[in-house]
Structure 1
Amino acid sequence: MITMKDIIRDGHPTLRKVAEDVKMPPSKEDQEILKSLHEYILNSQDPEIANKYGLRPGIGLAAPQINVSKKMIAVHVIDEKEQLHSYMLFNPRIVSHSVEKAYLSSGEGCLSVDEVIPGYVHRYARITVKANDIDGKEIKIRLKGLPAIAFQHEIDHLHGKMFYDYIDEKNPFTPMDQAIAIDR
């Protein structure tokens, strides 16, 4: 079971590296790592388990955050229509996106960043992702709103980018023209 001790913190060199592709079909070891990422997210959203093990709640986790520089992410989030988006993915990549931008009105956070970094992170409002599922089968997912933002945040981890890289230092709370504010 992954705990907060397993999650590396901002400043660790792995967080700034481009992760390696996972060879398909995935090895048992890679499947176990991916399952453990998903398990952390599920456990972190359960108040009883989170409290017992001191887990910070999250909606996504990428392998580089546990010092495994491979392209794998887990996301477990509910959208504005109460639809669950729960995925364990190898080699996710954004294949298309909207021109329109969106941002979380409360700002973004990260399990690898202990302090609050205020400001808006502008991302694509809608994205299409291609990836391999836990068994290695290629899938295509269309996302918007909070799930789209969560996916972009986790995919950024696979490319050595952090959410605060996108915050305008001079005007952190200035929304882009026509950008959609998403409340969490």
Structure 2
Amino acid sequence: MASLLPTHPLLLHHRGSAPTAIPTRCFRHSTSFHLALSSTNRTKASFSAAQHELASPGDFEFDAPLKIVEYPNPKLRTKNKRIATFDDNLNKLVHEMFDVMYKTDGIGLSAPQVGVNVQLMVFNPVGERGEGEEIVLINPRVSKYSMNRTLFNEGCLSFPGIHADVKRPESVKIDARDINGKRFSVSLSGLPARIFQHEFDHLQGILFFERMTDEVLDSIGGQLQALEMKYEGLTGFPSPEKIESRRRRKVPSGFGKL
């Protein structure tokens, strides 16, 4: 696989951790990926971001080690606040998110997936600690995306053991802040674009099964219901959502939510 451009500000390098072998991936993919800094064959996005409340210091409080929040935990649907303070608390959260991502065989993770409802995602397309590039995107927004869409067999750490095909744009152009709060724009294609779109949906409260066709959704319906029953058994409360009642809901083909 090709390497990401190491000089771009969205790339964050962590040192001092020994590489750890990871046998599986959150997404299944066997071809190379590419990160481009110019936009080609893209159209203007229809997504217009709504105003998000700013996060306070209390929104960054968490207990280490972080744990993955599984469907149908309401944290996955809670509104995620924009980040305005770039300090040690943010750096600590980023570090802990990478740590739990690697330990759970992931290649991407959003903050709501660990119960912290802020506009933050991390990913490493290689999925190996100490290899590839660790990417941090804060308050990301989509400015353009490709009209060309491809199917991809996706998985999600919040849906353990579930993999299914999702069609998404091949490339996107995004605006975001880096770990120091600096604004930048970048175009992503291939696997980085796919990971970004999956995690970006999390930041909008959208889950990957809402991007699936009815046929694909039917194929995993039993697994989703099993997670709902697991939640009820662990919490003693009714599931906050039922896949049967959500089958009729559709999300836009581009970005954002209804």
Deviation per residue, 1:53-112 (Å, 9 max, x gap): xx321110000011000000001014xxxx9453112111111111111221xx111111
Gaps of 5+ in 2: 1-63, 219-258
Q: Name the residue aligned to 1:56.
A: 104
Structure 1 residues 21 and 128: CA distance shift in structure 2, 3 A: same
Q: CA RMSD in A?
A: 2.1
Q: Which has the larger radius of gyration?
A: 2
CA distance in 2, matches of 1:152, 1:17: 18
SS at match of 1:77: coil
* 1:27 equivalent among 71, 87, 95: 87
CA distance in 1, matches of 2:100, 2:139: 19
Q: Does 1:36 align with 2:96?
A: yes
Partner amino acid, structure 2, of 1:114 = P
Partner amino acid, structure 2, of 1:73 = M
C-alpha deviation, 1:136, in angstroms:
0.6
CA distance in 1, matches of 2:65, 2:191: 24
Structure-2-length-normalised TM-score: 0.54
Deviation per residue, 1:1-40 (Å, 9 max, x gap): 645xx111100001012311111x4232122112221233
Q: Name the residue aligned to 1:99.
A: 147
CA distance in 1, matches of 2:168, 2:135: 20
SS at match of 1:18: coil
Q: How many residues align?
A: 151
Structure 1 residues 115 and 171: CA distance shift in structure 2, 3 A: closer
Q: Name the residue aligned to 1:158.
A: 203
Structure-1-length-normalised TM-score: 0.74
* 2:122 equivalent among 71, 74, 77: 74
* 1:15 equivalent among 52, 60, 76: 76
* 1:129 equivalent among 174, 178, 181: 174
* 4+ residue runs over 2 A deviation: 38-41, 83-86, 170-173
Partner amino acid, structure 2, of 1:18 = K
Q: Name the residue aligned to 2:236.
A: none
Q: Does 1:147 align with 2:147?
A: no
Q: Name the residue aligned to 1:116.
A: 162
Gaps of 5+ in 1: 45-54, 174-184
SS at match of 1:170: helix
CA contact (8 A) 1:38 1:88 kept: no
CA contact (8 A) 1:63 1:70 kept: yes
